[in-house]
Structure 1
């Protein structure tokens, strides 16, 4: 054999050897990719009993601390385990991991925050096979309480670990696959009782599906989803000409949400139901809010939909006050009759029209200001669990008002049905000489305690009910107009008309009602124009008020004057008034429910 032939044979052997070696390396790498995650998972589960990832998930962490997930379906499981409890916060907006049912919503956030144990490794993820837009470096904060004033309501994050896996399993069992989710939230400890998104609705609520199967949604729901995304991406605003920024949790998101509501939101008002319980608003007294909303909603040219197929929501136009007056029964029998009446009315609508059954009432809402309003909804399970209820008696501790879904309706005392703005206004801050004022009946547990401690105080006017002849001369209103602080204690129920009265008369409200969800609390920062005192601190009431420096009081009083426009009724609604704010609360609650 010649030298040239020998050289050619050597080259061929080397080429074949290189090919074989390459194939072997490829097979080894593939074997590592599909086998080592399970070995790694087994190893980490033995060393870490709190590993929250579902078993046989095919997960591991590489040398840089990134989570590696092999099959695409594992992203659904990961979202179940941590997606709905994770939250990223940036300077002006919130981003929720798994908000759209996938992990591809992870966004890069610039700031560095503290994170719980093993949270960073779980959330700093990348996918090796599917080209999902994941950030490779996530420096974010997992939070349960916001540190700024975001409009969008965060969801409370339980401890990552076994609890997360249990939560995912529970949601799989509890929530049927539906197109809408009625989410409920809880109050946070800080940020003026801001809603934290704690799940309180229970197993029977209409819930969002975590199923891998795609769910068809209607064009109207697509509109709401598109609006929700736009609100998340709202451009940052420092100042808005029509709004006073310190009043809002996040003025940028509120303004964008309000604009989208004006642009697309349509409500169908049912024509069914006879007078006086339906379609006949009562416009005077302390329960006037439900009447004024009914009147303006039924006559609205911008929000009313004549075609129900084009409506995003459906309004049940009944009066809780008139329903209460419609029976001569008393006590528990009377309350049961009222609840049964409303239940039969809604059952009739469900049998007559397809709209209720389509979402089990999740896209319906009612407005009730009477104290018995919540009790009137208790016999209809879908109303109780799914329907958005705008209630003056906004007390979540009784189990009917659901935080994050139901809406706190302002209790407004209207003295003239023809002129709801009568007597609005008050003295400037430097002319208010009385430290605090309260006069009223001794309803409930709080007022007698307050009277016992402060009736004899000379700096504060704390007294019982005023005689009618003194009230008729306007002494009650004049005292509110000339006092620095107006005390607003709860009565039999958590709400009080004095809160909005104080705003009307430009007096800083002092709210004493532990379980009260304040109106528009999802968007308004009540700390900017009100003082909240816990019921147990009534003996320290004067000390608390005197501890507020003068410059702080003047800022609070300025906030009261600026927020007043959001609590005023007008015969013809104007932008950002109380009618639009109530409607925005309903709109915003509906957006929170819409998920894929």
Structure 2
């Protein structure tokens, strides 16, 4: 992969700004990596960069320009193109946005750092007054936060919240418990990590007593193994200024490498 995988980056019309340092770091790392090619004919995949604060309408204009100026999008309807973001794209009826969301390389969620507080589920609200659980409305300072991770057997996460905390939980041997109402489809690195072996998934409507039964059973049967696997998984959540093997940047690139084989649509000729 390191020697043969090539990515072409479309040149943006204006300087890019990123709300997330992770998005900025990925873009800089890709530009400085051996994966970059200036020859689009050599590329396996095409990266569509856009600023974090662009509206969906502005992103649609970016795609329209790409389609009009260069032939590569039209060869595959965008199937060998990809974009990355922490927040994803909103829904829009514009054909260019629909094609980008539907046809581009899917489900590559960046493990970003964010302290935005998610909406509490009914289960978390039920646990607030339970002495066996520590539920915070605001994040702790880093020292206290890590001390609590180290001393806890399980760490609760609301699905859709800050996924960078899961990487921290793995590092400090606290098994993540992900509370969700729907099937898990977009956790980071789903092509690489066997999430069912390193995290517990529970329904938000399970109730506190059912959650305790699940956690007690997990602790008795496989907690130690999940901790060991989680520590190994934690390396994939590290963002280095100079990318290192197995860190977040290289894990994203490996996912792209796995998905590089795309269906190429024949170009249609119109009368």
- For the superposition of Structure 1 and Structure 2, which TM-score range results when normalised by the shorter chain? 0.7 to 0.9
The aligned counterpart of 1:508 is 175
- Counterpart residue number, 2:242: 572
* Mapping 1:265-276, distance limit 5 Å: 265-275=5-15
Instruction: Find the aligned partners of 1:528 and 1:351 in 2 and give their Cα distance.
Output: 46
Which residue is 1:554 aligned to? Answer: 224
1:1-400 to structure 2, matched below 5 A, reads: 261-275=1-15, 278=16, 280-282=17-19, 287-300=20-33, 302-320=34-52, 322-323=53-54, 338-370=55-87, 373-375=88-90, 379=94, 380=96, 381-388=98-105
- TM-score when normalising by structure 2: 0.84
For structure 2, the residue ranges without an aligned partner over 5 or more in a row are: 267-271
> Which deviations, in whole Å up to 9, do the C-alpha atoms of 1:30-71 show, x marking residues without a partner?
xxxxxxxxxxxxxxxxxxxxxxxxxxxxxxxxxxxxxxxxxx
Q: Report the equivalent of 1:254.
A: none
4+ aligned runs moved over 6 Å, structure 1: none
- TM-score (structure 1 length as normaliser): 0.41
SS of the residue 1:506 aligns to: coil
Aligned counterpart in structure 2 of residue 474 of structure 1, from 125, 143, 148? 143
Task: Give the SS at the match of 1:486.
Answer: strand
For the residue of structure 1 that corresponds to 2:58, the secondary structure is helix
| Aligned counterpart for 1:545 among listed residues 197, 211, 215 | 215
Tell me the CA shift for residue 414 of structure 1.
Answer: 7.4
Deviation string 1:204-242 (CA, Å, 9 cap, x unpaired) is: xxxxxxxxxxxxxxxxxxxxxxxxxxxxxxxxxxxxxxx
Q: CA deviation at 1:504?
A: 3.9
How big is the alpha-carbon RMSD for the aligned residues of Structure 1 and Structure 2?
A: 2.7
Report if the CA contact (8 A) 1:500-1:567 is conserved.
Answer: yes
Change (3 A) 1:532 1:550: same
SS at 2:122 equivalent:
helix
Number of equivalenced pairs: 261
Tell me by how many angstroms 1:294 deviates. 1.2
The structure with higher relative contact order (CA 8 Å, sep 6+) is 2
How far did 1:494 drift?
A: 6.5
**2:100 match: secondary structure:** helix
The structure-2 alpha-carbon separation of the partners of 1:269 and 1:377, relative to structure 1 and needing over 3 Å to count, comes to farther
Q: Deviations over 1:87-130 (max 9, x none)?
A: xxxxxxxxxxxxxxxxxxxxxxxxxxxxxxxxxxxxxxxxxxxx
Query: What is the CA distance between 1:535 and its match in structure 2?
Result: 2.2
Unaligned stretches of 5+ residues in structure 1 = 1-260, 324-337, 389-405, 416-439
Separation in 1, partners of 2:65, 2:265: 29
Matching residue of 1:452: 125
Q: Is the 8 A contact 2:193 2:233 kept in 1?
A: no
